[in-house]
Amino acid sequence: MTEKAISLPFTLDVYGKIAVTTDQNKIWQDKVLSVIGTTMRERVMRPRFGTLIAAKTFDNETLAEAEIQSEVEYAFNTQLGLLTLRSVTSSYDSYTGNTSVEIVYDLPNNQTISTTVGLVSINGNSIPYQENA
């Protein structure tokens, strides 16, 4: 039997039912984005789910990149144990103030895929937000 999961972002199909996917790459990518995009202690019943990446983006560029890599490694070791992390590449654009993070990992079937977490923009006192690329 093929695994099915709710397709993210949450949408309804043409029949008004919740859209689902059986594409394993999409299912795993959604799981990675869910863990990386959730701030630790954000989920009341699962306070250790997620990362502290949002807090790290306020550090200087070099420190933020190292801490983002550390947080991604922690997430893969503790919450995404079936995946094998290959690399984490983050880049900061000083002109726009955006940080982009690319994560390369192996699925349980040894297929290598890449996920771009998105852009985190920090503007003064505004809350960081993510734009999916």
SS (H, E, C) the chain: CCCCEECCCCCECCCCCECEECCHHHHHHHHHHHHHHCECCCCCCCCCCCECHHHHCCCCHHHHHHHHHHHHHHHHHHCCCCCEEEEEEEEEECCCCEEEEEEEEECCCCCEEEEEEEEEECCCCCCCEEECC
**Residue 67 belongs to a domain:** yes
- Number of independent structural domains in the chain: 1
Residue at 132 is within a domain = no
Enclosing domain of residue 121: 5-125
Q: Is residue 131 domain-resident?
A: no
**CATH assignment of the domain containing 37:** 3.10.450.40
Does residue 11 form part of some domain?
A: yes
pLDDT at 123 (0 to 100): 47
Block means of pLDDT (10 residues each) for the chain, 133 residues, are: 82 91 90 89 91 76 84 94 92 77 92 78 48 49
Name the residue among 114, 61, 63 with its Cα closest to residue 91: 61
Question: Quick one: pLDDT at residue 104?
Answer: 94
Residue 99's pLDDT is: 79
Whether residue 44 lies inside any domain: the answer is: yes
Q: Report if residue 71 sits inside a domain.
A: yes
Residue 130 is assigned to a structural domain of this protein = no
133 in any annotated domain: no
